[in-house]
Amino acid sequence: MRQSSLVVVANRLPLDDNAAPDGACEWRRSPGGLASALHAILQKTPATWVGWAGGVGPAPQLPDIGTLRLRPVALSEPELRGYYEGFANSTLWPLYHDAVEPPVFDRGWWETYRAVNRKFAEAAAEVAEPGAAIWVQDYHLQLVPQLLRELRPDLLIGFFMHVPFPPPELFMQLPRRVELMRGMLGADLVGFQRPQAAHNVAQLAAKLLGSEGADDAIPVDGRVVRTGAFPVSIDVAEMRTMSARPYVINQARQLRHDLGLHKRVLLSVDRLDYTKGIEHRLTAYSELLRDGRIKVRDTVMVQVAVPSRERVESYWGLRDRIEGEVGRINGEYGRVGEPAIHYLNQPFDRADLAALYQTADVMVVTPLRDGMNLVAKEYVAARPEDTGALVLSEFAGAADELDDAFQVNPHDVDGLKDTLLHAMNADPADLARRMAAMRKYITRHDILAWARDYLRALDHTGRLAAQVPKQRRRATLSTQQLGARR
């Protein structure tokens, strides 16, 4: 295995689950996904990505994707259950999202999580050249930084938490809280989406480890771990290029015709997850119809719910509840050939998402808790003109940056109803001002700026940051690969 000066370590490799007809590897992209965030950086930056390829059994042999080398980590069926479905997504995920769903504590899951984290650390240590930079991603691999430090003290180790990091009173519930803190603080730099997360970690380090420090510098074992907020973003140039493609423009025109040229279109695009606030959103929409404040003849909702974690038990009931509620709303308020809600529980490729974004008058992004939510930024980038309204939960990380959105507390159903009406009936001049301001912000703070900021903070020399392209070309091969070829 060749070694690299930059190694990304993440739960999943950025591969499509379905092989291309010619056998070539392609990027796997999903709404808000890590692969989407890092795609623009790594397609031109020589690096190795360590991750699970999906499925169980021996690791497959995978070719490179351009300059990116792939190092798959094999998982057995028991490892998948205990590490991924268990500790990562039934313990950490709900706890880190304000315990919207009660976390499950299982001692066996912890042992598997620790063993799998060691697998990832050993794989990363194997492919890293002397003095390399390792960029560990997210809550699945929270023990990897410290394990890497023990295996390879010569490495520069970064860790980035894409999900929220909980307040101390929630984190303290974890039976293995000290090990998790030490694991994460094995990094040289720990990055978060929002400043509050760094503050939470500083408080916990003092309480659990006796490490009194500042929000941006925590002394641990004779060294100083730096922390900070680095809000992740999107590839704005790619989304603009995608949105200008003839297929996308024609598809948006057809969707608009099919949904009703005279109707106001509300759109939500989420993974099917209990943190996304889908049920609260449906309740608000249903009550607006019930109270006659909107009519099916002039308003329609499109809810895309991309399947997610289908083997995790807590998601089964959620899917059933949402499907039942959509059926009830359509049964009570829909008309023949004119449903109140179009519900799509299926994956969407990038081109079709861009068409949906262009179709929507109001983009409704109302998670109960979210580290960032890149769909909100994609909507802004996909709009060719200063039209459209973004309704955004104040509990999404994106709310810190997109303060010209119509911000809302999604737990307050009455407030959500009023905000939806406000967005639907806003003055076009007000909408144009809001959209122009948000577009200007995300253009300046795109995915490349995020990577440069983080990598510059990681190594201080600018060497790593210099590997990130300064500017994206308007059209790239990757765009063609991602379902836009028609």
In the block, tokens 């404040």 appear at 293
Given a cut of 90, is residue 402 above it in pLDDT? yes
Given a cut of 90, is residue 470 above it in pLDDT? no
Amino acid, single-letter form, for residue 397? G
Would residue 342 show up in a list of annotated catalytic residues for this protein? no
Given a cut of 70, is residue 63 above it in pLDDT? yes
According to DSSP, the β-strands at 217-220 and 223-229 are: antiparallel
Amino acid, single-letter form, for residue 200? N
- Residues 269-300 pLDDT 10s: 999 999 999 999 999 999 999 999 999 999 99
- Whether residue 43 contacts residue 170, with contact meaning beta carbons closer than 8 Å, is answered with no
Would residue 320 show up in a list of annotated catalytic residues for this protein? no
Rounded to an integer, the average pLDDT of 236-263 is 95
Q: Alpha-carbon distance 3 to 162, whole Å?
A: 26
Instruction: Select from 391, 385, 421 the least CA-distant residue to 404.
Output: 391
Structure tokens at 176: 């293995």
What's the pLDDT at 483? 31
Structure tokens at 471: 């500017």
Where is average pLDDT lowest: 45-59, 75-89, 150-164, 207-221? 45-59
Catalytic residue chosen out of the listed positions 188, 370, 446, 453: 370
Rounded to an integer, the average pLDDT of 225-244 is 94
- Whether residue 166 contacts residue 369, with contact meaning beta carbons closer than 8 Å, is answered with no
Q: Alpha-carbon distance 305 to 4, whole Å?
A: 37
Where is average pLDDT lowest: 12-21, 114-123, 364-373, 419-428? 12-21
Average pLDDT taken over every residue of the chain: 90
What's the pLDDT at 18? 44
Structure tokens at 301: 């909702």
Catalytic residue chosen out of the listed positions 162, 199, 280, 445: 162
What's the pLDDT at 27? 45
For the chain, the first-to-last Cα distance in angstroms comes to 37
Q: Alpha-carbon distance 224 to 64, whole Å?
A: 36
> Could you give all domains of the chain from N- to C-terminal order, each with its CATH number?
4-233+447-476 (3.40.50.2000), 238-443 (3.40.50.2000)
Structure tokens at 344: 């799509």
Instruction: Indicate yes or no: pTM above 0.85.
Output: yes
